[in-house]
A and B are shown apart, each in its own frame.
Chain A
Amino acid sequence: MLTIYRPGTGPWHRMPAGPKALALLLLVFGVSLLPSAWPAAAVAAGACVACYLIPGVGMAELGRQVWALRWLVVVAFGLPCIFLGVEAAAVGTVRIVAAVSLAALLALTTPVAALLDVVERASAPLRVLGVDGARVALLLVVALGTVPTLARLAREVRDAQRARGARGIRVFVVPFLVLALRHADDLGDALTARGVR
């Protein structure tokens, strides 16, 4: 299961998940709608730094988030720089990085169980359309949880093929698919066994 939650007791951690999600959503929208001018970049960066300076998160965490976005930065700055100029590209990139880092604050300071409750509550109005909020939330968790498991399965298949001197995508795909489908079966049984219908 992928997790970026960092346990803590700061104000972000103590804030209830629902209002925190709403506040960060508004901040992300605000940053996204800023104009393409240097002062806007300063405002976006300032808002982001201010949020991370609140005790319990810290600038080191902001650094990790920005570093994780390095390839996005290259793409977001590189292409617009050619067509729109340095100012528009730089401001746009700062806005994107600030928005993603602000959004990450939710996952960094909220346990997944609380996020699940938020998703469940937020999707409650969709019940009239036949959407089951609990299932939507569970789907998100299971999808996230499957990523490292599939990565491990892929590594095991690659190692097994290497040990037998086999190479190529074809010899990888078949056993990987078989293992992935078996994992899906096992996971389904385990969820049923744990009371998920």
Chain B
Amino acid sequence: MTSAVRLAAVSVRLADADVLHDVDLAFDARTVAVVGDNGSGKSTLARLIGGLVRPTRGSVEVFGLDSVRDAAALRRRTAIVFSNPDAQIVMPTVAEDVAFSLRADRLSRAERDARVATALEEFGLADLADRPAFELSGGQKQLLALCGAFVRRPDIVIADEPTAFLDGRNAHIVSGHLLGDVGHRLVVVTHDLDLAARCDIAIRMQAGRVAQVGAAADVVAAHSASWRC
């Protein structure tokens, strides 16, 4: 059976530093957590899968699409959410920012408005539709970033520390949306071990290499033990 995500002998060198070394990885789980210490290569791994970083050596395939050769097709099926929502908000109002994600799809105005309204409703942002996006709280901004990602109906969502700047309540809400079974796969890079443990499988990164892949609970326990001893 073909894995949804497959990395074959991937190395990445950025700014004269080796960030990933010979990573071989294949998984088909619906929700995947990536854990590890700072600088272990977690974010680079996520960006590789999302097509934002090119492998220096080796190949990355997502749904059978090569991340370099089929980059445009891959991006259409992928949504990426980052930790800093300020950098993800492009348009002035909440509704316009969500609609921005659909610009490339060339939908009719009615269809675009309907998709935006549904997404805003799902993420509890309908009442804020006309509010300036930069006036939102940190949690609301991250929900807006998620809403902008999900409105494209991606096949895979890649989230790089999506709860890093959030309080407990907002982190719980964001995690709920990410893990909710709405037809997308999820790769989430996180230091939030509760979120990681709720995924189907987890990958533990260490110094640019994959140290462990397995059931999320086992990997999270091993990761916790690695800095407690």
* A 71-123 contacts with B by CB, 8 A: 111-113
- By a CB distance below 8 angstroms, the chain A residues around B96 are 111-113
Contact of A193 among B52, B91, B92, B134 (CB under 8 A): B52
Q: How far is the CB of A136 from chain B (nearest CB, A)?
A: 14
Contact at A186–B92, with CB atoms within 8 Å? no
Task: Check if B130 sits within 8 Å of A183, measured CB to CB.
Answer: no
* CB < 8 Å neighbour of B90 from A3, A5, A183, A191: A191
Q: A190 contacts which of B82, B92, B130, B133 (Cβ < 8 Å)? A: B82
B99 & A194 in contact (Cβ 8 Å cutoff)? no
Q: CB distance A7 to B130 under 8 Å?
A: yes
Q: How far is the CA of A149 from the CA of B87 in the complex (A)?
A: 9
- For chain B, the bracket of interface size reads 20 to 34
Q: Looking at the complex, which one of A144, A145, A195 makes contact with B104 (CB distance below 8 Å)? A: A195
Are A186 and B87 in contact, with the CB atoms below 8 A? yes
Nearest CB of chain A from residue B106's CB, rounded to whole Å: 11
B75 at the interface (CB under 8 A from A): yes
Chain A residues near B36 (CB-CB < 8 A): none
Q: Chain A residues with Cβ under 8 A from B47's Cβ?
A: 189
Q: Which of B72, B86, B101 touches A194 (beta carbons < 8 Å)?
A: B101
Query: What residue of chain A has the Cβ atom nearest to residue B104's Cβ?
Result: A195
CA distance A197 to B84 in the complex (A): 21
User: Is A187's CB under 8 angstroms from B87's CB?
Assistant: yes
Q: What are the residues of chain A within 8 A of B134 when measuring CB–CB?
A: 1, 145, 148-149
CA distance A187 to B100 in the complex (A): 14
User: Is A141 located at the chain interface by the 8 A CB criterion?
Assistant: yes
Docked pose: A141 CA to B97 CA in angstroms: 11
Contact A183 B87 (CB under 8 A): yes
| CB-defined contacts of A3 to chain B, threshold 8 Å | 92-93, 132
Tell whether, in the assembled complex, residue A145 and residue B90 are in contact, meaning their CB atoms are under 8 Å apart.
yes
Interface string of B75-103 (1 = CB under 8 A from A): 11011101010111111110010011101
**Contact with A1, one of B79, B80, B87, B132 (Cβ below 8 angstroms):** B132
Interfacial chain B residues near A187, Cβ < 8 Å = 87
What 1/0 mask marks residues of chain A from 110 to 142 whose CB sits below 8 Å from any chain B CB? 011100000000000000000000000000011
CA distance A191 to B88 in the complex (A): 7
Per a CB cutoff under 8 Å, which of A1, A113, A148, A195 touches B152? A195
**A124 smallest CB distance to B (angstroms):** 15
Q: Which listed residue, A112, A183, A193, touches B79 by the CB 8 Å rule?
A: A193
| A181: interface (CB < 8 Å) | no
CB distance from B115 to the nearest CB of A (A): 14
Please, how many angstroms separate the alpha-carbon atoms of A190 and B76 in the complex?
14
CB <8 Å contact, B75 and A5:
no
Q: How long is the Cα–Cα vector from A183 to B78 in the complex, in angstroms?
A: 22
CA distance A142 to B133 in the complex (A): 14
Interface residues of A (CB under 8 A from B): 1-3, 5, 7, 111-113, 141-142, 144-145, 148-149, 152, 183, 186-187, 189-197
Across the A-B interface, give the 7 residue pairs with the lowest CB-CB distance, nearest first.
Answer: A3-B92, A186-B87, A193-B80, A1-B92, A195-B104, A190-B88, A7-B130
Which residues of B approach A to under 8 Å, CB–CB?
A: 47, 50, 52, 72, 75-76, 78-80, 82, 84, 86-93, 96, 99-101, 103-104, 130, 132-134, 148-149, 152
15 contacts between A and B (CB under 8 A): A1-B133, A3-B93, A141-B91, A142-B90, A145-B89, A145-B134, A149-B86, A186-B82, A187-B87, A189-B80, A190-B80, A190-B82, A193-B52, A194-B152, A195-B103
